[in-house]
Structure 1
Amino acid sequence: MLDISQAAVSMQALIEGGTPALDAVRRLVAEAEDGQHQDKVIGGCAALLAPIPQPRKNIFCVGRNYAEHIAEGDRAQNQKTGVSDHPVFFTKPPTSVVAPDGDVLLFPDVSTSIDYEVELTVVIGKAGRNIAKADAMSHVFGYTILNDITARDIQRRHGGQYFKGKGLDGSCPIGPVIVTADDFTDPHALSIGLKVNGEQRQDGATKDMIFDIPTLIASLSEGLTLEPGDMIATGTPSGVGYAMDPPQFLKDGDTVVCEISGIGTLSNTVRSV
């Protein structure tokens, strides 16, 4: 039994603790709100970390999961790849994670084409392999926001594969919170958008995913064990910078704000190093 009141508990430990741990946290919060345990409430302000600041594994991501995003990419690159028969998966390393209000890093000697992608991200709560679509949602702990910062020039330089261009330090803002699955009626009925310096760039809806969340979990878990704390970013809607005419990449000092209804906003500043 995880004693929340006696220890500083990480989000990873909370997820692994399952329903009993989550219930204990809810009881503690309710008691604090009632003024019964004010001695256990920490006062003052602190910097907000990413919900899981040091993931145990790479973050799973899904490419090309919104039809309009696929179409804008095809137009920008003068190609016609269309919709794939199966989800396209790649990963981002733990070293890429950035906290809310943290810095998205630019490395001018490495890339001059840094882009953004707002994504609804699933947090796994229960381990499983070869998970059936019908059972997939029972493995979900909750949802958060992820900004899949991408170096487009590096992505193309390395043959179009995703990992290197999407794995730079400071390229994965996550947060501000994880909203538990029981607080969502339908994660496929959310608005999702992104602004750069106040300008709306992306404005979509999760209902437009090509592969829904049960399909993604079932496909990814084929022969591969998903574990508590694993994260799956589910793809981005249209409006990315490289597909604009002319392309609009992020620059030093830019403010990028991601928003998903029911979760909140994730804001970060771009900083050249």
Structure 2
Amino acid sequence: MLPKENTLSGATLVGRVWRPDVQGAALVTLRGDRVIDITSREVPTMRDLMELDDIPGYLTAAQGEDLGSLAEITANSDEAAPGGQLRLLSPADLQVIKASGVTFAESMVERVIEEQAAGNADLAQEIRAKVAGIIGDSLRGIVPGSDKAMQVKRVLIDEGLWSQYLEVGIGPDAEVFTKAQPTSSVGWGASVGLHPISSWNNPEPEIVLAVDSRGRIRGATLGNDVNLRDVEGRSALLLGKAKDNNASCSIGPFIRVFDGSYGIDDVNRAELTLTVEGEDGFVLEGRSSMTQISRDPESIVAQTIGRHHQYPDGFMLFLGTLFAPIQDRDEPGQGFTHKVGDVVTISEPGLGMLQNTVRLSTDCPEWTNGIAATMRNLAARGLL
């Protein structure tokens, strides 16, 4: 579950696993290839761990229980493995899952196409050529809210191509929305879900920041912000339906905690790769470079939390993606859309590899282990 070119040796990694013997989640850290349970009364949840001032120090001092090798637990976490085994979960628990959209200039063009096509893939190719002829790559490097950004806005309005997506892409205010609810995200090896009404959709490979209740960025991980392009394209008011469905948010495999060897500068240099492998033999490859993000990640965090909005349990923040697939899968001009059974792999050398299999949301396991169930389980184990 770690890419061959990984640089994770010595990294401070934390995550969560499902322990069938206690019928609940446990906090874990990775020591070499061993997965160590560090759950305690002091730190019963990932939310509590992220609130500590010295996370690496706590992890070094924690005794913990050896649960097995990473390879063993990864094998158990594959969706084809029998249920009820020790397996990886999403590293997020009580945190709200937030996401920022339209943070890359290139993907802004695709959002304009979605809006102008009104969810109709047949119109996308023609509109894509028209929009690219006017916008091209000229938006890359523009500082949102700057004088230059406002000049571009005036040009686009004159051309009749101004869009709500371009407003949040180059305007002063970032788009930040709620992607998923606390405890609802899925982890490595799980199925990710598509709402059955969608026929035009795609993965979104992204860096996800772990932010505590004081707005401090404590670490980073990988995420797949599964997106229904046709639903969102019909109306931006359908964003919730396009984004927040059963199993539509995967995060993991571990949060890499910021320490002396890794920090926000490494996030800003991150290079993500994406592979989609279909049961029909189709293969899609893509990349997303954080060096091309239009908004500084720290500024997005500052727009999310502050005096205007508090998050007592912290939050996970998807930073958006450069990736917008246009490769034809079936008919010419139809572009890419998922098929059930697609295996999606997102990799980044400093963060590892996140892999999930695409299913319909109605066929994915139901989300039943909410906050109340989590609290009752911790209390029964004497951890609260």
TM-score by length of 1: 0.79
Q: Which residue of 2 aligns with 1:98?
A: 186
Shift of 1:23: 1.4
Contact 1:115 1:241 in 2 (8 A): no
**Stretches of structure 1 lacking an aligned partner (at least 5 in a row):** 29-36, 129-138
| CA 1:6–1:225: 2 relative to 1, 3 Å | closer
Give the match for residue 87 of structure 2. 47
Q: CA deviation at 1:98?
A: 1.5
Task: Report if the CA contact (8 A) 1:242-1:249 is conserved.
Answer: no
Unpaired segments ≥5 residues, structure 2: 1-37, 74-85, 117-126, 132-160, 364-384
- Counterpart of 1:267 (choices 355, 359, 364) is 355
The 5 Å alignment of 1:190-229 reads: 190-197=270-277, 199-222=283-306, 223-229=308-314
CA contact (8 A) 1:116 1:148 kept: yes
Tell me the CA shift for residue 239 of structure 1. Answer: 3.0
Secondary structure (helix, strand or coil) at the match of 1:98 reads coil
* Residue equivalent to 2:247: 170
**Contact in 2 for aligned 1:120/1:260 (Cα 8 Å):** no
Offset, 1:228: 4.6
Counterpart selection for 1:255 from 340, 343, 361: 343
Q: 2-side partners of 1:152 and 1:96: how far apart?
A: 22
Larger Rg: 2
CA gap of 1:216–1:146, structure 2 versus 1, over 3 A, is: same
Taking the aligned partners of 1:164 and 1:149, their CA distance within structure 2 comes to: 11
Partner of 1:156: 233
Question: Following superposition of structure 1 onto structure 2, how do residues 1-273 of structure 1 map, counting pairs within 5 Å?
Answer: 4=38, 9-19=44-54, 22-28=56-62, 40-43=65-68, 45=73, 46-52=86-92, 54-57=93-96, 59-75=97-113, 77=116, 78=127, 80=161, 81=163, 82=166, 83-85=169-171, 86-94=173-181, 96-108=184-196, 110-128=197-215, 139-159=216-236, 161-182=238-259, 183-185=261-263, 186=265, 187-197=267-277, 199-222=283-306, 223-240=308-325, 245-272=333-360, 273=363
User: Could you say which residue in structure 2 is the equivalent of 1:32?
Assistant: none
The ranges of structure 1 where at least 4 consecutive aligned residues each deviate by more than 6 angstroms after the TM superposition are none
Distance 1:5 1:148 in 2: 28
1:13-65 deviations in whole A, cap 9, x for unaligned?
2112331x54122234xxxxxxxx7x83233642111001x3343x1111100
1:42 maps to amino acid: L
Offset at 1:142? Answer: 0.3
CA separation of 1:145/1:72 partners in 2, compared to 1, >3 Å: closer, same or farther?
same
In 2, the alpha carbon distance for the partners of 1:160 and 1:242 equals 27
Two-structure CA RMSD over aligned residues (Å): 2.7
**For residues 159 and 262 of structure 1, do their structure 2 counterparts lie closer, same or farther at Cα, with a shift above 3 Å needed?**
closer
Q: How many residue pairs are counted as aligned between the two chains?
A: 247
SS at match of 2:98: strand
- Percent identity of paired positions between Structure 1 and Structure 2: 26
Summarize the Cα distance change of 1:231–1:146 in structure 2 as closer, same or farther, 3 Å threshold: same
Q: How far did 1:73 drift?
A: 3.4
Q: Distance in 2 between matches of 1:269 and 1:172?
A: 12
**Cα shift at 1:113:** 2.2
